[in-house]
Each structure stands twice: as structure tokens, then as C-alpha cells.
């Protein structure tokens, strides 16, 4: 194992669950965006990137389908619906790949990541004001 791999593992092990989820969503979005922006050279990487994104959303769907999840029911239902949309859009893209069709998956991942990143900040501000 090289130094950069050890550093990455140490960095990840010190992150909260929300930070890990945020990072995974951003990484999946960045991968899809790289393919979109460099379609001629990178379109061969599309299936792998879509599969990684699908696996990420499968984990999210599984967590939201768990009745012991601490998230409010409405949020869990919304994320489950969004997961189903992501799965369907992924199949559509695989059937008819076009660079512009990746925008919706990229935007969803980035919006959810942004929401996750803002949530801890809002909780910290609430705790400071108490």
C-alpha cells in the first residue's frame, strides 16, 4: 500500500456517516460529469460509472426502507421515490446513451450532497444558540 492510499484510508476513517455519504455522491456526480464533458474519449467508462451510481443509490434506498432509520418517514419516502427515479433514469441512459442525459443524475447527486452538507451546519448553529 502506498502513502496516498494510507492517507485516503485514514482520512475516510475519520469522517462521519454524513460526510462519507456526501463525498460518495459528489464522487459519483464528478465521474458522470467527466464522462459527459469528455464524451468522445470517456463514453466507454459510462457503464461502470452508472453501475457505481446505481450501487450508491441502492444503499440509500436500503437505508431509507429500514423502519429503524432515524430519518422522518416523509423524508424516507421521498428518498425512496428519488431512488426509483434514479434507477429508471439509469436504465434509460444505458438504453440510449447521450452526454446530456447524464445531467439529471449529476444534478440529483449534487443537490442531495449539498443538503447533507448543510444539515450538520444547521444542527451546529442550533446547538450554539441554545
- Domain ranges for the chain, please list them: 20-129
Phi, psi of 122 (to 5 degrees): -65, -40
Alpha-carbon span 26 to 89, nearest angstrom: 18
Residues 102/31, Cβ–Cβ less than 8 Å? no
Kindly state the helix (H) or strand (E) to which residue 22 belongs, with its residue range.
helix 17-37
| Average of per-residue pLDDT values in the chain | 86
Give the pLDDT confidence score for residue 41 in this predicted structure.
97
CATH 1.10.3470 fits 20-129, yes or no: no
Phi, psi of 16 (to 5 degrees): -75, 165
Please give the average per-residue pLDDT across 25-46, as a whole number. Answer: 97
Residues 106/29, Cβ–Cβ less than 8 Å? yes
- Model confidence pLDDT, tens digit, residues 54-102: 999 999 999 999 888 888 999 999 999 999 999 999 999 999 999 999 9
pTM: 0.80
Amino acid at each position: 500500500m502506498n502513502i496516498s492510499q494510507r492517507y485516503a484510508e485514514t482520512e475516510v476513517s475519520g469522517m462521519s456517516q454524513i460526510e462519507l455519504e456526501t463525498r460518495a455522491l459528489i464522487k459519483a456526480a464528478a465521474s458522470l460529469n467527466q464522462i459527459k464533458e469528455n464524451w468522445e474519449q470517456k463514453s466507454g467508462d459510462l457503464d461502470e460509472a452508472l453501475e457505481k451510481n446505481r450501487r450508491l443509490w441502492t444503499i440509500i434506498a436500503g437505508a431509507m426502507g429500514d423502519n429503524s432509520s432515524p430519518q422522518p418517514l416523509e423524508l424516507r419516502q421521498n428518498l425512496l421515490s428519488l431512488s426509483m427515479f434514479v434507477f429508471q433514469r439509469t436504465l434509460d441512459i444505458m438504453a440510449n446513451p447521450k452526454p446530456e442525459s447524464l445531467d439529471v443524475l449529476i444534478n440529483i447527486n449534487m443537490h442531495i450532497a449539498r443538503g447533507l452538507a448543510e444539515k450538520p451546519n444547521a444542527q451546529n448553529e442550533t446547538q450554539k444558540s441554545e
